[in-house]
Amino acid sequence: MPETCPPSLRPRVAGRHPFETGLDRTPANYVPLTPVSLLARAAAASGAKIAVIDGSRRLTYADLYTRSRRLASGLARLGIGRLDTVAILAPNVPEMIEAHFAVPMLGAVLNPLNTRLDPATIAFSLSHGGARVVIVEAEYGALAARALADRAEPILVVTIGETGIAGAIPYEALLASGNADYAWTGPEDEWQSLCLLYTSGTTGDPKGAVYSHRGAYLQALGNAVTFGLTTESVYLWTLPMFHCSGWSYPWASVAACATQVCLRKVEPAAIFRLIAEHGVTHLCGAPIVLSMIAHAPENDRLAFPQRVRCAVGGAAPSSTIIRTMEELGFQVTHLYGATESYGPATVCLAQPDWTALTDADRYARMARQGVPLATLEGVSVIDVATGRPVSQDGTTVGEICLRGNTVMKGYLGNPDATGRALAGGWYRTGDLAVWHPDGSVEIKDRAKDIIISGGENISSLEVEEVLMRHPSVMLAAVVARPDPTWGESPCAFLEVKPGGDAPSDQEVIAFCRERMARFKVPKTVVFGVLPKTSTGKIQKFVLREQARAL
């Protein structure tokens, strides 16, 4: 090196770099991330503020923190500790929120159970997850009793209300036995497991996605930022908390010191009443929830002065639903994610130039699944065959892949499924999409739902969007039906609006012919109530079986 080189650029003596010397992690500058700290902070900063509303019940943040610490302490006295599984079978009640903080305080793993599943599947989840305790709310006492009937391993049962389960410990008695000043310490490693969420698989046993303290903390902040939660926000629980831990909103709402309003059952009249009564500003749900709100009878609707932000996940709601929701006072935001991504992973961000678009063009933009949340490292759309990103041309179809700290650790006890899901350094979602020049992704279909007719690929979502514009149609689902000439042809299953008359098959087909290419038009139309999963998604695997039998 020339002698004229400044001393600062000369080679350093071998050894640790100055930035790696004397700059170590200490308790002063490094604390493993955990969502439990969000509640401790909220109680300290806003202790007197109402944190939870459940009918006539009111819990302040000080109450919520104290009850969570008592629950954690009570469970510890029962012998529950690090990485023990605590299951809970309950609707959207305050105790479910408490469990999302109390169980992680112990370093234990919370397993929210889907209340709409059958006893055999509940029993499988309890066994596979190794639950040592199950907390059961009174409404689901009979379901829990059937699930526990043939269980060989002992399990402690804690009951919220009267369930009739012999030997159960009352929830409030457990809290009374606990210490209000329980000194929780948080995880030694933020990668430690926090939650176990079982997917609602359509075939075989469900898979248990495992969340970490780090992922839950970051997802909470990502949700709060994305959805605009503040201390003035009032969040209504129209989404079941057992689903992806309520998309991580028990933690996100607390991160913002917002108020959570509990709702046991999704009913339009109750939704409108609570929005008007409590000044609700935010809610989340599957497209079916928006459909129920949009098609609510006039007698169930109440006016409210505030604009309610409504986040919808899954397939994009139809333009008809979006228009109606906007007219009713809701601002729709489209999210996309999965159990494996702690709920929302991407968001469709409204752009300033959208105000100049026609309603049709604006709704088309809103139908895109969007760009990554701030706390997700990245999203890509890859060619399934080559593994390379597809062109961002808005037409080339590939598979959506996600990467970041808010992707699950893996599936409990299922290394093969984990390896397939996280292959190549990405979470492979199985959703097919195009990638637009602005960086947003737009789902075209699930890989298994694409219809191939005469060599042409048909997006079932595209056909469903057109069908949902029909004035008599409330819900539409399109699947492939075997066709002797074309291999497959679109088969439409339609659920008509309440009190409405079903149009004829030919009327529906003619409606579609005016709005799409002929080869995409359904050749078969079936009317009836559509089968749905516990989270409101239409069960297309059931419809495919029905279509094959037609």
pLDDT of residue 540: 86
DSSP character string of 466-503: HHTTSTTEEEEEEEEEEETTTEEEEEEEEEEPTTPPPP
**Domain map (residue ranges) of the chain:** 266-448, 450-549
Q: Taking the CB of residue 88, how many other CB atoms lie within 10 A of it? A: 27
Q: For the residues 522-549, what does the mean pLDDT come to?
A: 86
> How far is 354 from 204, CA to CA, in rounded Å?
44
Q: For the residues 91-115, what does the mean pLDDT come to?
A: 97
Lowest pLDDT segment from 6-10, 21-25, 116-120, 150-154: 6-10
Average pLDDT, the chain: 91
pLDDT of residue 202: 44
**Residues 448-484 as b or e (16 or more Cβ within 10 Å = b):** ebbbebeeeebbbbebbbbbbebeebbbbbbbbbebe
Lowest pLDDT segment from 157-166, 209-218, 418-427, 437-446: 437-446
Strand spans (E) along 339-455: 343-347, 371-372, 378-382, 397-403, 410-411, 427-435, 441-446, 451-453
CATH 3.30.300.30 holds for 450-549: yes
CB 213 within 8 A of CB 188: no
pLDDT tens-digit readout, 5-25: 666 666 666 677 888 888 999
> How far is 194 from 251, CA to CA, in rounded Å?
12
Q: For the residues 53-78, what does the mean pLDDT come to?
A: 98
Q: For the residues 385-397, what does the mean pLDDT come to?
A: 92
pLDDT tens-digit readout, 344-381: 999 998 888 888 899 888 888 888 889 999 999 999 99
The pLDDT > 70 percentage for the chain reads 95
Instruction: Report the Cα–Cα distance between both ends of the chain, in Å, rounded.
Output: 81
The pLDDT > 90 percentage for the chain reads 68
- Could you give phi then psi for residue 173, rounded to 5 degrees? -70, -40
Q: For the residues 409-423, what does the mean pLDDT come to?
A: 96
Query: Tokens representing 38?
Result: 């969000």
Q: For the residues 192-203, what does the mean pLDDT come to?
A: 81
Q: For the residues 515-522, what does the mean pLDDT come to?
A: 85
Q: For the residues 239-261, what does the mean pLDDT come to?
A: 96
pLDDT of residue 288: 80
> How far is 62 from 180, CA to CA, in rounded Å?
11
pLDDT of residue 5: 60
Q: Taking the CB of residue 142, how many other CB atoms lie within 10 A of it? A: 14
User: Which residues are 428's β-sheet partners?
Assistant: 401
Biggest distance spanned by C-alpha atoms of the chain: 91
Task: Evaluate if residue 493 carries a pLDDT over 50.
Answer: yes
Task: Evaluate if residue 286 carries a pLDDT over 90.
Answer: no
Q: Which of 183, 184, 187, 182 is nearest to 216 (CA)?
A: 187
pLDDT band at 88 (very low <50, low <70, confident <90, very high): very high
Q: For the residues 43-71, what does the mean pLDDT come to?
A: 98
Using CB atoms within 10 Å of the CB of residue 509, give its burial: 0 to 12 exposed, 13 to 18 middle, 19+ buried: middle
DSSP state of 301: -
> How far is 195 from 87, CA to CA, in rounded Å?
10
Q: Which helix (H) or strand (E) holds 364?
A: helix 359-366
Q: What is the pTM of this model?
A: 0.84
Q: Are strands 397-403 and 378-382 parallel, antiparallel or unpaired?
A: antiparallel
Q: Which of 339, 424, 420 is nearest to 389 (CA)?
A: 424
Strand spans (E) along 205-276: 208-212, 234-236, 259-261
Q: For the residues 474-499, what does the mean pLDDT come to?
A: 88
pLDDT of residue 204: 59
Q: Which helix (H) or strand (E) holds 494?
A: strand 487-496
pLDDT band at 403 (very low <50, low <70, confident <90, very high): very high
Assigned fold of 266-448? Rossmann fold (3.40.50)
pLDDT tens-digit readout, 158-173: 999 999 899 999 999 9
Q: What 3-state class would DSSP assign to 389? A: strand
Q: Edge-to-edge strand order for the sheet containing 473-483?
A: 473-483, 487-496, 524-527
Q: What 3-state class would DSSP assign to 93? A: coil
CB 213 within 8 A of CB 33: yes
> How far is 276 from 43, CA to CA, in rounded Å?
27
pLDDT tens-digit readout, 325-349: 999 999 999 999 999 999 999 999 8
Q: For the residues 125-133, what does the mean pLDDT come to?
A: 96
pLDDT of residue 12: 63
> How far is 543 from 550, CA to CA, in rounded Å?
11
Phi-psi region of 395 (alpha: psi -120 to 50; beta: other; left: phi over 0): alpha
Query: Tokens representing 226?
Result: 């994305």
pLDDT band at 462 (very low <50, low <70, confident <90, very high): confident
pLDDT band at 197 (very low <50, low <70, confident <90, very high): very high
pLDDT of residue 333: 92
Task: Evaluate if residue 138 carries a pLDDT over 70.
Answer: yes
Q: Which of 215, 213, 216 is nearest to 251 (CA)?
A: 216
pLDDT of residue 1: 46
Q: For the residues 202-210, what does the mean pLDDT come to?
A: 77
pLDDT band at 444 (very low <50, low <70, confident <90, very high): confident
Task: Evaluate if residue 276 carries a pLDDT over 70.
Answer: yes
Q: Taking the CB of residue 34, how many other CB atoms lie within 10 A of it? A: 26
Q: What 3-state class would DSSP assign to 371? A: strand
pLDDT of residue 432: 86
- Could you give phi then psi for residue 208, rounded to 5 degrees? -100, 105
pLDDT of residue 151: 83
CB 347 within 8 A of CB 319: no
Query: Tokens representing 422?
Result: 């996280």
CA 11-17-21 angle, 5° bins: 150
Instruction: Please name the residue ranges forming H helices in 78-205.
Output: 94-105, 119-128, 141-148, 171-177
Task: Evaluate if residue 488 carries a pLDDT over 50.
Answer: yes
Q: What 3-state class would DSSP assign to 314? A: coil
Query: Tokens representing 334?
Result: 């489209």
Using CB atoms within 10 Å of the CB of residue 155, give its burial: 0 to 12 exposed, 13 to 18 middle, 19+ buried: middle
Higher pLDDT, 153 or 527: 527
Task: Evaluate if residue 203 carries a pLDDT over 60.
Answer: no
What number of residues does the chain have?
A: 550
Query: Tokens representing 543?
Result: 């419809």
Q: Which of 325, 311, 313 is nearest to 233 (CA)?
A: 311
